[in-house]
């Protein structure tokens, strides 16, 4: 989900949270072993099961601030580093323990041409391929691309993984995940990165889709009926897929059965949070699934902690429209990108 949709097009009041942001510096302050980061927000419990997942006393730390719209956090285990997208700024930033600000890691990240009139040209969702390469959903270049790690400078050479379906260009791939068993890539394609978004003259496909990129490089359409498909994740065994729909009049998460051939079969509504949209910043967006099946799904109010069957266990209330989240090492930490902030909270 992108800032211009959530804030400008549908929820004008969210602009209050983005005012006064400044750009991060390009250099890190000297890293320290410990740092007292400022905190924000709160943890709300709705079910006793939350007690085994996160403490209501846990502090939500502000690790860095001043971004235009932060997205797509990803922990790089070999580098012991978190990276994340700033979509309007066409930049991927990095952060490491002890840093008091973020550093430019990769620029450009999503649009590699000379000029764009899109307000959101950069990379969005980031993930690692089964081979350990960095995979990016590139709004500006309208593709899913890959590059090698580590990034030694601030630029990279990208290789296209998927940019068309049936000969027509994607709108702006948003989030991508690899199936835990087959190793095939699944991604969503809403219009947020197009100039004019849903009204863009550059649209080639007539639907906003969920797609599968098989191991032979062929792209398959899985669902053409969602209004704004966004975040995507799998259950630990790969038999269920979860997709967020970031549309304020039908804000919800869906769950699909995944067949052995990789296709989506039965679809059900996992949880509808449309009633929460008016009074809480944000929409269903990015999501991650823990090894025990618990979902951490960004949505109205922050990050919703859900059971595999969609019961709301609790809410990590960030106070901002929250785009995405990612686990740190051993799932002991949850990193969150929330508008102009990079946040984290300790998990049990």
DSSP SS3 for 92: strand
Residue 278: partners with Cβ closer than 8 Å, 6 or more residues away? none
Give domain 3-17+34-346's CATH architecture.
6 Propeller (2.120)
| pLDDT at residue 272 tops 90 | yes
Average pLDDT over residues 250-273: 97
Q: How far apart are CA 69 and CA 123, in angstroms?
A: 11
Q: pLDDT of 182-241, one tens digit each?
A: 999 999 999 999 999 999 999 999 999 999 999 999 999 999 999 999 999 999 999 999
* Confidence grade of residue 4 (pLDDT, cut at 50, 70, 90): very low
| pLDDT at residue 133 tops 60 | yes
Q: How far apart are CA 232 and CA 326, in angstroms?
A: 13
CA nearest 314: which of 338, 342, 269, 345?
345
Q: pLDDT of 11-68, one tens digit each?
A: 333 333 333 334 454 433 333 334 789 999 999 999 999 999 999 999 999 999 999 9
Average pLDDT over residues 100-113: 96
Q: How far apart are CA 209 and CA 226, in angstroms?
A: 7
CA nearest 333: which of 275, 290, 276?
290
Average pLDDT over residues 317-326: 97
DSSP SS3 for 118: coil
* pLDDT at residue number 346: 98
Average pLDDT over residues 245-256: 98
Tell me what the pLDDT averaged over the chain comes to: 91
Residues of the chain by 3-state class (helix, strand, coil), percent to 5? 10, 40, 50
* Confidence grade of residue 2 (pLDDT, cut at 50, 70, 90): low
What's the predicted TM-score (pTM) here?
0.90
Average pLDDT over residues 91-107: 96
* 44-48, 62-66, 117-121, 166-170, range with the lowest pLDDT: 117-121
Average pLDDT over residues 168-172: 98
Annotated domain spans of the chain: 3-17+34-346
CA nearest 74: which of 49, 95, 102, 98?
95
* Confidence grade of residue 1 (pLDDT, cut at 50, 70, 90): low
């Amino acid at each position: 989900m992108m800032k211009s949709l959530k804030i400008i097009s549908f929820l004008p009041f969210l602009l209050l949270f983005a005012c006064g942001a400044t750009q991060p510096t390009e250099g890190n302050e000297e890293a320290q072993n410990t740092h007292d980061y400022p905190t924000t927000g709160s943890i709300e419990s709705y079910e006793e099961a939350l007690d085994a997942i996160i403490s209501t006393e846990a502090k939500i730390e502000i690790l860095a601030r001043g971004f235009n719209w932060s997205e797509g956090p990803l922990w790089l285990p070999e580098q012991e580093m978190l990276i994340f997208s700033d979509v309007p700024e066409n930049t991927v930033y990095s952060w490491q323990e002890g840093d008091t600000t973020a550093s430019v890691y990769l620029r450009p990240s999503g649009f590699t041409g000379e000029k764009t009139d899109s307000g959101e040209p950069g990379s969005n969702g980031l993930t690692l391929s089964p081979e350990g390469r960095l995979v990016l959903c590139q709004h500006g270049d309208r593709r899913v691309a890959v590059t090698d790690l580590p990034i030694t400078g601030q630029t990279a050479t990208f290789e296209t993984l998927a940019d068309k379906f049936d000969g027509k260009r994607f709108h702006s791939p948003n989030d991508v995940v690899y199936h835990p068993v087959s190793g095939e890539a699944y991604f969503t394609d809403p219009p947020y990165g197009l100039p004019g978004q849903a009204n863009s003259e550059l649209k080639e496909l007539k639907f906003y889709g969920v797609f599968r990129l098989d191991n032979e490089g062929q792209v398959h359409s899985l669902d053409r009926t969602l209004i704004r498909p966004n975040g995507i994740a799998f259950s630990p065994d790969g038999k269920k897929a979860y997709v967020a729909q970031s549309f304020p009049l039908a804000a919800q998460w869906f769950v699909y059965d995944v067949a052995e051939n990789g296709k989506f079969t039965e679809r059900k509504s996992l949880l509808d949070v449309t009633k929460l949209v008016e009074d809480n910043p944000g929409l269903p967006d990015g999501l991650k699934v823990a090894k025990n099946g618990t979902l951490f799904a960004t949505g109205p109010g922050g990050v919703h902690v859900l059971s595999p069957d969609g019961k709301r266990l609790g809410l990590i209330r960030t106070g901002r429209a929250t785009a995405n989240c990612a686990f740190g090492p051993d799932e002991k930490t949850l990193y969150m990108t929330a508008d102009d902030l990079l946040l984290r909270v300790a998990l049990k």
